[in-house]
């Protein structure tokens, strides 16, 4: 099994947070974002999958730092509703959201190896697809291969979303990328707080929520919830797993091995990032 979520996969001592953010854990979302933008400016970016948490953060960020860079990942398997909603969100906020795509060569190797729907074969195959379509494109962003390298990024993680997220810190070194910091300003928010903020600010809402979805991702790997299910159970419902794509946890040794087989050049790339 992969390591516990949120643990760093590197053995080097964890770096100290910037002094201005030493008290991050005790700060409410708005104060944390205010301090973070004061410290990093435009080098602090927002990554959103257009869930309600992401739109709350986009609204807060735009009020605090209107020039915030906003990015989203297009895996190539998103539902049509998400593309339509992306346009709606851009119109609502008056922003252009940067869309990040997987590397075409890596996708070709993936589909040659396991087919277009090979992610259904097992957890490692699924995680390999998530690595190629989500994690590695995001690592390319953090490494500065997609515009200026961010010093830190904001995610919409909340602790109550799943057992795997219950220890999410509000600020931590990115577990996969040396040098970058990761913020979760809504870590201690409840779903009700997100909903109240959404209503109060009149934020748009992804249309799939109205059809019973609680978490939004790729079309073939996300479904509406059944009564009583935890909100992450609509993701990869055929698996008994932590329900994570890999953006918020390190890769298991088996997954690393598969990645190495698929992308032999990755070893030297990992060394250059270390």
Residues that bind ligand SF4 (CB under 6 A): 75, 77, 119, 126, 129-130, 133-134, 217-218, 220-221, 245
The string of DSSP letters for 61-120 reads HHHH-TT-EEEEE--S---HHHHHHHHHHHHHHT-PPEEE---HHHHHHHHHHH-TTGGG
| Nearer Cβ to ligand SF4 (85/93) | 85
Smallest gap from residue 178 Cβ to ligand SF4 (A): 24
Smallest gap from residue 122 Cβ to ligand SF4 (A): 11
Interatomic CA distance for residues 256 and 162, integer angstroms: 24
| C-alpha closest to that of 28 among 68, 55, 64, 71 | 64
Compute how many other C-beta atoms are within 10 angstroms of the C-beta atom of residue 158. 21
Smallest gap from residue 80 Cβ to ligand SF4 (A): 15
For residue 171, the SS3 value is strand
Quote the tokens at residue 177.
């990328």
Smallest gap from residue 245 Cβ to ligand SF4 (A): 5
| Nearer Cβ to ligand SF4 (126/249) | 126
| Nearer Cβ to ligand SF4 (123/198) | 123
| Nearer Cβ to ligand SF4 (198/222) | 222
Contacts of residue 211, defined as CB under 8 A and 6 or more positions apart, other chains included, come to: 224
Contacts of residue 22, defined as CB under 8 A and 6 or more positions apart, other chains included, come to: 16
Smallest gap from residue 136 Cβ to ligand SF4 (A): 11
Taking phi first (over 0 means left), then psi (-120 to 50 degrees means alpha), and beta for anything else, what does residue 115 get?
left
Residue whose pair of structure tokens reads 């918020």 in the numeric block: 248
| Nearer Cβ to ligand SF4 (170/206) | 206
| Nearer Cβ to ligand SF4 (18/220) | 220
Q: Which residue is nearest to ligand SF4 (CB)?
A: 218
Catalytically active residues, by annotation: 245
Contacts of residue 164, defined as CB under 8 A and 6 or more positions apart, other chains included, come to: 5, 232, 242, 243, 244, 249
Interatomic CA distance for residues 209 and 206, integer angstroms: 6
Smallest gap from residue 90 Cβ to ligand SF4 (A): 22
């Amino acid at each position: 099994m992969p390591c516990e979520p949120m643990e760093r996969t590197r053995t080097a001592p964890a770096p100290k947070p910037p002094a201005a953010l030493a008290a991050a854990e005790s700060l409410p979302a708005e104060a944390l974002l205010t301090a973070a933008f004061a410290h990093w400016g435009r080098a602090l970016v927002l990554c959103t999958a257009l869930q309600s948490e992401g739109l709350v953060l986009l609204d807060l960020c735009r009020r605090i730092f209107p020039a915030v860079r906003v990015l989203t990942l297009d895996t190539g398997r998103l539902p049509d509703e998400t593309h339509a909603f992306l346009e709606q969100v851009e119109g609502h906020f008056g922003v252009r959201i940067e869309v990040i795509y997987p590397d075409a060569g890596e996708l070709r190797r993936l589909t040659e190896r396991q087919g277009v729907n090979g992610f259904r074969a097992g957890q490692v195959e699924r995680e390999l697809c998530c690595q190629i379509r989500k994690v590695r494109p995001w690592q390319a962003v953090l490494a500065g291969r997609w515009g200026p390298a961010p010093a830190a990024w904001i995610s919409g993680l909340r602790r109550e979303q799943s057992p795997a997220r219950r220890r999410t810190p509000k600020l931590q070194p990115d577990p996969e990328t040396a040098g970058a910091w990761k913020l979760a300003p809504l870590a201690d928010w409840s779903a009700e707080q997100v909903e109240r903020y959404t209503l109060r600010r009149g934020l748009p809402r992804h249309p799939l929520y109205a059809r019973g979805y609680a978490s939004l991702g790729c079309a073939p790997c996300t479904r509406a919830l059944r009564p009583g299910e935890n909100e992450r159970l609509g993701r990869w419902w055929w698996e008994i797993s932590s329900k994570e794509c890999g953006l918020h946890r390190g890769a298991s040794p088996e997954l690393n091995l598969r990645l190495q087989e698929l992308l032999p050049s990755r070893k030297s790339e990992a060394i250059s990032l270390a």
